[in-house]
Amino acid sequence: MSLDEYSRKRDLEKTPEPAGERGVGAGGVYVIQKHDASRLHYDLRLECDGALLSWAVPKGPSLDPSQKRLAVRVEDHPLDYAGFEGVIPEGEYGGGVVMVWDRGTFENMADAPLREGLSAGHIEVRIAGEKLRGGWTLIQMKGRGEKNWLLIKKNDEFADREGDITASRPLSALTGRSLDEIKGEG
């Protein structure tokens, strides 16, 4: 895990985002940030070795196990990013509004360390968030570009084939604010 790419992409004099420094966490930080940038998407982040593994999920997560959601791996983020909610100025990398849409903890369900699951292209985690709960699988799409993964809900008691969690629970898990409210207040 390296935060070099994170730091290279950002001018910290111009963006309120956290500096690209490694942290020492208690382990198991989980967050999804709703990011209204050039295109609205959801950024899934899981703590691993002092940083946050990150995937951009264009459609957001689905609680329906039959729905495979594209999750594009992006640069690792600093641990402090999990608490970031605010506005990245226009013209800066990722310019737009960032909301802490869901947060909590996760457990690695595999016997091997998360880092090994990442290398193998298969990660299984149990999430304890405010909106997402239970088992989730991330599978790398081999042969279609290393960055492309699929995010899939496991078929357990937290699966839901009916609703749309992104539509029914649109507000911040941190502050209860909408994207517009964050935009207005910073």
Whose Cβ is closer to Mn ion: residue 108's or residue 138's?
138
Whose Cβ is closer to Mn ion: residue 43's or residue 75's?
43
Binding interface with Mn ion (CB under 5 A) = 35, 43
Whose Cβ is closer to Mn ion: residue 35's or residue 103's?
35
Whose Cβ is closer to Mn ion: residue 17's or residue 43's?
43
Distance CA(82)–CA(102), nearest Å, equals 10
> What is the smallest separation between the CB atom of 54 and Mn ion, expressed in angstroms?
8
Whose Cβ is closer to Mn ion: residue 17's or residue 64's?
17
DSSP string, the chain: ---HHHHHH--TTT--SPPS------S-EEEEEEEESSSEEEEEEEEETTEEEEEEETT---S-TT--EEEEEEEEEEGGGGG--EEEPTTSTT-EEEEEEEEEEEEE-SSS-HHHHHHHTEEEEEEEESS-EEEEEEEE-TTS-TTEEEEEE-SSTT--SS--HHHH--S-TTT---HHHHHHH-
Neighbours of 40 (CB within 10 A): 15
> What is the smallest separation between the CB atom of 113 and Mn ion, expressed in angstroms?
26
> What is the smallest separation between the CB atom of 62 and Mn ion, expressed in angstroms?
18
> What is the smallest separation between the CB atom of 167 and Mn ion, expressed in angstroms?
19
> What is the smallest separation between the CB atom of 160 and Mn ion, expressed in angstroms?
25
